[in-house]
Structure 1
Amino acid sequence: MPLELVSIPTVAEPLDGLFYTPDAGEIRAAALLFHGNCHNFYTGPSRFLPQVLLRRGIACLAFNRRGHEMITSLDGRNIGGGSFQLAHESIADNRAASDFLAARGFERPIIIGHSNGGMLAAQHCGDDYGSPRALVMMSAHSGGTTNVVEMSRLGLLAQDRLPELLARAEHMVAEGRGRELMLLPDWWWVISAESLLDRAHNTPDTLENAARVRCPTLYLRGDKESPVGYPTEAYAERANAASLARCETWVLPDCDHFYTGQEQQVAEKVADWIEKACW
């Protein structure tokens, strides 16, 4: 498959990614792939979906938001990455990627997001940015102001130290130390003070976006995932009640959050759904 290493300009550092195009045949549409928390354009669905989608005539842009990796080197000794991510920057990065595709003649992209990228995909499509053709949410988390609480209750992020760590983060931000890093007791292990507060207060709410999406939607999760943390059924109920576009849900058997061992089967099923929804 032809691959092009691309650099998408933003108001800050550029977003690196790969643009995949079919080696033959018509390009019927393009897909934007939004990676999950602390992941990147070459892991997870951003890695295993393109080969299958290309066979269906769908070009793919997999790219890094500014919140990729936990910590990453930028220019010189400057650092960035998922430990510093802010919701408004993630939304802006996704829009920049959509604009990049539109400038190349690929308007109305298919939006596919995994985990945190799925939550952001719902926000992107709820805003109707670029008039998306279809939305695929792969294990998108619930988002909103309860997400940090839910993650910590499940043993991730702050675990049982959330009140303590939020208070420390507020103190650090008040002292002008918002970009200083704090250690967490579990994944993703390290975060800046301002990013922790941003996650607690500014994360888009997946369920609130359900009634705003105007394109066909597939929301799937693995059967090993919580229906509270990954609320496929509740989202579909709200989306279908709004009657702007139809939402279909799947709970995939023997699947974890990363579809381990099931990547090819999941990719084929997603590609089948896209073909039926878009053409």
Structure 2
Amino acid sequence: MAQLELVAVPTPTGQPLDGLLYQPSGEVRGAVMLFHGNAMNFYVGASRFLPPSLLDLGFTCLAYNRRAHGTLATRNSRAPEGNAIATVAQSIEDNELARNFLHDRGLPAPALIGHSNGGMLAVRHAADHPDTPALVLLSAHRGGKSMIERGSRTGLLAGDRFDELSAEARRLVAAGRGDELMLFPGWWHVMTARVFCDQLDNLPDIIELAPRIRCPVLYLLGSQEPAELYPLQEFAQRCAGPVDTAVIADCDHFYNGVDTQVTATVTEWLDSVMPARPGRAGPPCR
């Protein structure tokens, strides 16, 4: 019987990365890290519905919260944490800490599965770790310095008040008030001025990173998603390694009602590009 273990990966700020480690009952074929999307967590979306099928293939799976989980939350005090106050640098660091956790368990370099913002971060992680055996991008957004303005034009984030709210966030940061919360007309509705400026300035750009990605990639989109935000073809053209693409019909950004089809697409692809059988998982990640 497969084993499920609640884990807490320590971080320098004292906010652990809570998660669930799924361990197959037999020999381990490989490892998978699952990167959740903005304001999500390890027990919703793809981080929840994919691991049981990946277990059946012999993969140990780590689904975990970054410090940028949820929107605003508390833990064992009244100190806030979550997506509204976490930085891009912390998210990049969190993925390194999760990889180190798997290494310390003696597991091989993990395949990466990232949804939305987690997909963008997975591209950055794969670029930093050439031993990544496979990369699955589930509606990975483009990132980069234009992403927040592009997203706002579609009604997210600052909406039609992008210029106004960007200027206000810059003003608050310059005045030493960067930790003040700001309200936004679109999803994800609230964040500090400092985090909004951080999102404007520091998101990894998956198009710029694509030439550094040499492992096999699956880039999956829903048919209802705007190409401006999710550059499937542009990434595939610039990627150094082989890229397979899939567009799921009648599918929104969160895969509502089509999780079975998404699961089949992802598991069949991983099974084809990571053919090592149980007992041949390779050396631990470094």
For residues 166 and 259 of structure 1, the distance between their equivalents in structure 2, rounded to whole angstroms, comes to: 31
How many angstroms does 1:2 deviate by? 1.6
SS at match of 1:152: helix
* 1:1-279 correspondence to structure 2 within 5 Å: 1-12=2-13, 13-22=15-24, 24-128=25-129, 131-239=131-239, 242=240, 245-279=241-275
Count of residue pairs brought into register by the alignment:
273
Measure the CA separation in 2 of the matches of 1:125 and 1:79.
30
Residues 128, 214 of structure 1: 8 Å contact kept:
no
RMSD, aligned CA: 1.0
Give unmatched runs, 5+ long, in structure 1. none
Q: Secondary structure at the match of 2:212?
A: coil
Q: Report how far residue 166 of structure 1 moved.
A: 1.1
One-letter amino acid of the counterpart of residue 151, structure 2: M
Q: Aligned-pair distance for 1:274? A: 0.5
Between the aligned partners of 1:69 and 1:48, the Cα distance in structure 2 is: 18
| One-letter amino acid matched to 2:70 | E
For 2:171 and 2:41, locate their aligned partners in 1 and report how far apart those are by CA, in whole Å.
31
**Residues of 2 paired with 1:20 and 1:114: CA distance?**
19
4+ residue runs over 6 A deviation: none
Per-residue deviation, residues 38-72 of structure 1 (Å, max 9, x unmatched): 00000110000001111111111000000000001
**How far did 1:167 drift?**
1.1
Query: In structure 2, what is the Cα distance between the partners aligned to 1:58 and 1:17?
Result: 16
Instruction: Tell me the distance in 1 between the aligned counterparts of 2:179 and 2:34.
Output: 28
Give me the whole-angstrom Cα distance separating, in 2, the residues matched to 1:105 and 1:232: 34
Match of 2:188, SS state, is coil
Q: How far apart are residue 76 of structure 1 and its match?
A: 1.1
Mind listing any 5+ residue stretches in structure 2 that lack a counterpart? 276-286
SS of aligned partner of 2:40: coil
Q: TM-score, normalised by structure 2?
A: 0.93
Range with greater deviation from structure 2 (251-260 or 149-158): 251-260
What's the CA shift for 1:214? 2.2
Q: TM-score, normalised by structure 1?
A: 0.96
| One-letter amino acid of the structure 1 residue matched with residue 21 of structure 2 | F
Conservation of the 8 A alpha-carbon contact between 1:110 and 1:133: yes
Counterpart CA distance in 1 for 2:41 and 2:85 is 15
CA positional deviation for 1:247: 1.2
What percentage of residue pairs aligned between the two structures are identical?
A: 48
Query: Comparing both chains, which one has the higher relative contact order based on Cα–Cα distances under 8 Å and sequence gaps of 6 or more?
Result: 2
2: distance between equivalents of 1:52 and 1:149?
37
Report how far residue 265 of structure 1 moved: 1.7
What one-letter code is carried by the residue in structure 1 that aligns with 2:120?
Answer: M
CA distance in 1, matches of 2:36, 2:52: 16
Distance 1:48 1:76 in 2: 31
